[in-house]
Amino acid sequence: MDQLLIALDVETAARAVALADTLDGVAGGFKIGSRLFTAEGPDIVRTLVERRARVFLDLKFHDIPHTVATAVAAATTLGVWMVNVHASGGARMMQAARDAAHDTAARRGQPPPLVIAVTVLTSMNAASLAETGVERPMLDQVLRLAELTQAAGLDGVVASPQETAPIRRTCGPSFAIVTPGIRGGGAAAGQNDDQERTMTAAEALAAGATYLVVGRPIIAAADPRAAAEDIGREAVKGRT
């Protein structure tokens, strides 16, 4: 299923590659986040790219524009398919990220990666958002950051499935919405872990999600491939 991105939130390259092999043909791509990248470095990205996997490098860059631009350029050189930054870094930072991706890809003669921005982490709720000094409602903040991201020229956002439908209405059909916080039925039912704002795969796609990011319900399952296939079958309901 092209829309299913599986989070390889594991400690070793060996485990990540084994999962990628197991999930070949089921996953539309693989997300490499801070845990695996910190443990194994860029080599795990190169390994998966060389195996023709689509890699979403989920390091959520958030720094001054020049630093973020150099990080995104490095990610582009690795051949990632998608990379993200924090929308709260502001328009100038996001524009620098976009420009770095496109300029680096053009020099290398390759397609640029999708550059997307994180709105509000799915682990946050109204109370934790208020702790950061943001007093507006969660949805208002997410939509404000989505609009800022689109104005900066990025390809889309990361947002919880609960905000997907309003983002789709606000930002239009071509704006990518990547939704973590996906939970399935069966053995995974109710396992929200530290995610606060969740939906099933079918619900998220029905709301307008472009890509679904799923980690623990698949990689922690006794049979990861069967778990991924179950979520894929469920997701089809969101497209019918």
The DSSP bridge partners found for residue 225 are none
Catalytic-labelled residue, pool 9, 47, 49, 60: 60
126: Cα within 13 Å, side-chain hemisphere:
6
60 labelled catalytic: yes
For the chain, the C-alpha Rg in angstroms (whole number) is: 17
Q: Return d(Cα 37, Cα 45) in angstroms, integer.
A: 8
Quick one: three-class SS letters along the chain?
CCCEEEECCCCCHHHHHHHHHHCCCCCCEEEECHHHHHHHCHHHHHHHHHCCCCEEEEEEECCCHHHHHHHHHHHHHHCCCEEEEEHHHCHHHHHHHHHHHHHHHHHHCCCCCEEEEECCCCCCCHHHHHHCCCCCCHHHHHHHHHHHHHHCCCCEEECCHHHHHHHHHHHCCCCEEEECCECCCHHHCCCCCCCCCCECHHHHHHHCCCEEEECHHHHCCCCHHHHHHHHHHHHHHHHC
Q: Which residues are catalytic?
A: 60
